[in-house]
Amino acid sequence: MEIRAFENNISTLLGKDLLKGASHLYAGSEAVAVGAIAAIREGDLVTSTHRGHGHAHAHGDTAAKTPAAKQEHYNKMMAEVLGKSGGYCKGKGGSMHIADVDHGNLGATGIVGGNIPVAVGAALVQKLKHTDKVVLCFFGDGASNTGNFHESLNMASLWDLPVVFVVENNLYAMSVPWAKASKLPNVADRACAYGIPGEVVDGMDVLAVRGGVEKAVARARAGQGPSIVEAKTYRYFGHSHSDPRAYRTREEEQAYKDRDPIIVLSEEMKAVGLLSEDEFEAMNQQVKGKLKDAMAYSEASPAPDPSEVSTDVFAPSIFTVKDVEAEAELRAKVKADGGMRQISYAEAIQEALREEMTRDADVFIMGEDVGLYGGAYGATRNLFQEFGEWRVIDTPISEATIGGAAVGAAMAGMRPVAEIMYVDFTPLCMDQIANQGAKNRYMFGGKTSVPMVVRTEGGAGRAIAAHHSQSLESLWTHFPGIYVVMPSTPYDVKGLLKAAIRDNNPVMFIEHKMLYKNKGPVPETEYLIPLGVADVKRSGKDLTMVTYSRQVLNCLAAAEELAREGIDAEVIDLRSLVPLDSETIVNSVKKTGRFVGVTEAYENTSFINEVMAVVNEKAFDWLDAPMQRVAAANVPVPRAEVLEDMAIPNVKRIMAACRKVMS
């Protein structure tokens, strides 16, 4: 009844134009949320959808133990939908992104099917930690036709994860009827393809829903894996407020309203003496009172302060000024060498992973061929033998769910290191990492952190053509909420990877395939490199070269050649693209007066363009010549070596740009 009153009130506000934005109303489907959440217990987790008011309300009401706490929950729900600072997410999430992570509601998503891989990751944590908790994953019939659905069900069934997939089949994916979306009559019929149970229940009957979900929850809690429970239900309102509902008939709508879950349940209770008419009316009045109080709270709650716009994007840094100074001292010793041991870039990665997994049992690796095979480039070799199959987890080829499961695992308390074999494949998991992982902290008002690392590799040089040779870092630097790191040396890759694993933000950690065999000095003692600190790899006074990853080596080689011509070039290795160490760049340009940016990414919208914008904004008056950039050609990376060499920066091209800026 409270959910219905809430939704009817939102509809009224929308109709009077008193509520901005989209709200996808849950009225008609209340039996699903109430029945399903009645089947779980305190400590269990929930993921939700864009039509998630009912899930959030039922879960929060169940978690609240006193009348005052229940009213507070109702208040925060209303305030969040209205975009007020007193809402669950401080007004940053709104209707489609309500979360209460502290009580196990991992949040709703505006991406259809976007929460399904997240639920898999949260369930994986329960398996790895040997808890008896269960994850309840709500989604609609439309989501069952997404790749996320199929990848996630396969992975969950493969690993016997404690997750229950609750399908709210309200007959339409926005306007497309189920019959035009699938040959099968039921979503639950797909369960057999994944070797798990599937059951269809009457989604207009709260007791039927509870009964079906109870069986699935008991099975999951007993370690027997996931199930699908498909609840056939209906939404009384359209997909959104502007929906004319021309795709369905008035007769169909009335037929479902005749089976209204609130009326049917109340009549059944009256028939057996469990509810009187007076008690039912008293409940109605109580709900009206709660709604009135929630509206009063929301109206009194101020809009977010404008300064809030830039808060909660990232979790606070774990590093101090002293940490930065200590790493600078260590770096100087490494550069001085002094007989320090030499290990390869790949060995440095292995050491970083081994040390962090030994130090923290919450760190685990997952990805394609990371186990016995040791990773496509050997970076996880021998870790499977040391830590076992549930700390170094081989996955199916399912990039979207690898990424999404990492998000869910991170939100549920662990520190996943997910490997995507090539950066060229990261667009396959972009929704999960960019829309869920990178945004969840902000959307949920800073109430969660997503401490995860995505290890991948990119770049050209092996003549393996366009789909395995790109540098796509600028895709990832574009999204707020995710760090991007691209190390160039064994020392850097070890210290930065350890720091990334300990950081409380998502980190896209991009290695270069041509660096794995390169050797360099690496301390045997433990160290971390704070994210967001560039390294001046070579000091100079005449011009500043800014670069990262493999191109650091080319820039250093070019600088040595230029020195023979009397040009003293400074080479800055960004190491971290996000956070960007603007201070080091600007100070160098103010000293030299000239700038050359070098990147292996395509010239169009490459990250080096952003660096040039920073220089233009902060050091323009110190420039003695127009800035120059050296980037990959705007062509797919070709297979033929002679063409590949032409497509990417080399020492000769870098030197030419430096000479031009000096002239």
243 pLDDT higher than 80? yes
**Average pLDDT of the segment spanning 401-430:** 97
Distance CA 649, CA 630 (A): 6
- Report which of 560, 610, 619, 562 is spatially closest to residue 588, judged by C-alpha positions: 619
Confidence of residue 351 (pLDDT cuts 50, 70, 90): very high
Q: How far is CA 228 from CA 134, 137, 156, 202, in A?
A: 14, 10, 11, 14
**Average pLDDT of the segment spanning 461-470:** 89
Contact yes or no for 443/92 (Cβ under 8 A): yes
**DSSP, res 622:** G
Distance CA 295, CA 640 (A): 67
**Average pLDDT of the segment spanning 203-232:** 97
The one-letter amino acid at 9: N
- Which residues, 6+ apart, have CB-to-CB distance to 355 below 8 Å? 498, 526
Other C-beta atoms lying within 10 Å of the C-beta of residue 88: 27
- Report which of 630, 641, 628, 488 is spatially closest to residue 553, judged by C-alpha positions: 488
Beta strands at 342-344 and 519-521: parallel, antiparallel or unpaired: antiparallel
What's the pLDDT tens digit per position in 113-136?
999 999 999 999 999 999 999 999
Domains of the chain: 2-299 (3.40.50.970), 321-521 (3.40.50.970), 535-662 (3.40.50.920)
Other C-beta atoms lying within 10 Å of the C-beta of residue 295: 17
The one-letter amino acid at 638: P
The one-letter amino acid at 435: N
Contact yes or no for 547/571 (Cβ under 8 A): yes
What's the pLDDT tens digit per position in 558-570?
999 999 999 999 9
**DSSP, res 297:** H
- Report which of 424, 423, 366, 365 is spatially closest to residue 395, judged by C-alpha positions: 366
What are the residue ranges of helices labelled H in 159-276? 206-221, 250-257, 261-271
The dihedral of CA 232, 137, 10, 264: what is its sign?
positive
**Average pLDDT of the segment spanning 81-94:** 94
What's the pLDDT tens digit per position in 249-275?
999 999 999 999 999 999 999 999 999
Confidence at residue 584, expressed as pLDDT on a 0 to 100 scale: 98
Q: How far is CA 177 from CA 33, 139, 246, 316, 349, in A?
A: 22, 16, 12, 46, 50
Lowest mean pLDDT among 182-196, 239-253, 299-313, 512-526: 239-253
Strands of the sheet with 595-602, listed across from one edge: 535-538, 569-573, 543-547, 595-602, 628-632
What's the pLDDT tens digit per position in 141-193?
999 999 999 999 999 999 999 999 999 999 999 889 899 999 999 999 999 99
- Region for residue 479 given its phi and psi (left: phi exceeds 0; alpha: psi -120 to 50; beta: otherwise): beta
Confidence of residue 241 (pLDDT cuts 50, 70, 90): confident
Tell me what the pLDDT averaged over the chain comes to: 95
Distance CA 43, CA 45 (A): 6
Contact yes or no for 172/247 (Cβ under 8 A): yes
Q: How far is CA 654 from CA 304, 555, 630, 661, in A?
A: 49, 7, 6, 11
What's the pLDDT tens digit per position in 589-635?
999 999 999 999 999 999 999 999 999 999 999 999 999 999 999 99
**Average pLDDT of the segment spanning 85-106:** 93
Confidence of residue 309 (pLDDT cuts 50, 70, 90): very high
Q: CA 25, 26, 30: angle at the middle one, nearest 5? A: 160
Confidence of residue 242 (pLDDT cuts 50, 70, 90): confident
Contact yes or no for 534/503 (Cβ under 8 A): no
Active site residue 130: no
Share of the chain above pLDDT 70, in %: 100
- Which residues, 6+ apart, have CB-to-CB distance to 143 below 8 Å? 49, 112, 113, 116, 149, 167
Distance CA 378, CA 419 (A): 12
- Report which of 258, 255, 188 is spatially closest to residue 226, judged by C-alpha positions: 188
Catalytic residue, from 50, 57, 468, 512: name it. 468
Confidence of residue 401 (pLDDT cuts 50, 70, 90): very high
Contact yes or no for 357/390 (Cβ under 8 A): no
- What residue has token string 């978690």? 63
- Which residues, 6+ apart, have CB-to-CB distance to 273 below 8 Å? none
Lowest mean pLDDT among 92-96, 156-160, 650-654: 92-96
The one-letter amino acid at 116: I
Confidence at residue 26, expressed as pLDDT on a 0 to 100 scale: 87
SS3 522: coil
- Which of residues 21 and 146 earns the better pLDDT score? 146
**Average pLDDT of the segment spanning 88-95:** 93
Confidence at residue 337, expressed as pLDDT on a 0 to 100 scale: 75
Distance CA 406, CA 531 (A): 21
18 pLDDT higher than 90? no
Contact yes or no for 85/91 (Cβ under 8 A): yes
Phi, psi of 297 (to 5 degrees): -60, -45
Confidence at residue 22, expressed as pLDDT on a 0 to 100 scale: 80
**Average pLDDT of the segment spanning 522-537:** 97
Contact yes or no for 98/24 (Cβ under 8 A): no
Interhelix angle for 67-81 vs 53-63, to 10°? 160
**Average pLDDT of the segment spanning 282-310:** 93
Distance CA 155, CA 369 (A): 15
Q: CA 499, 503, 507: angle at the middle one, nearest 5? A: 85
Distance CA 310, CA 435 (A): 17
Distance CA 152, CA 40 (A): 21
- What residue has token string 């969040």? 80
Confidence at residue 339, expressed as pLDDT on a 0 to 100 scale: 78
Contact yes or no for 421/456 (Cβ under 8 A): yes
Other C-beta atoms lying within 10 Å of the C-beta of residue 552: 27
- Report which of 264, 259, 256, 296 is spatially closest to residue 280, judged by C-alpha positions: 264
414 pLDDT higher than 90? yes
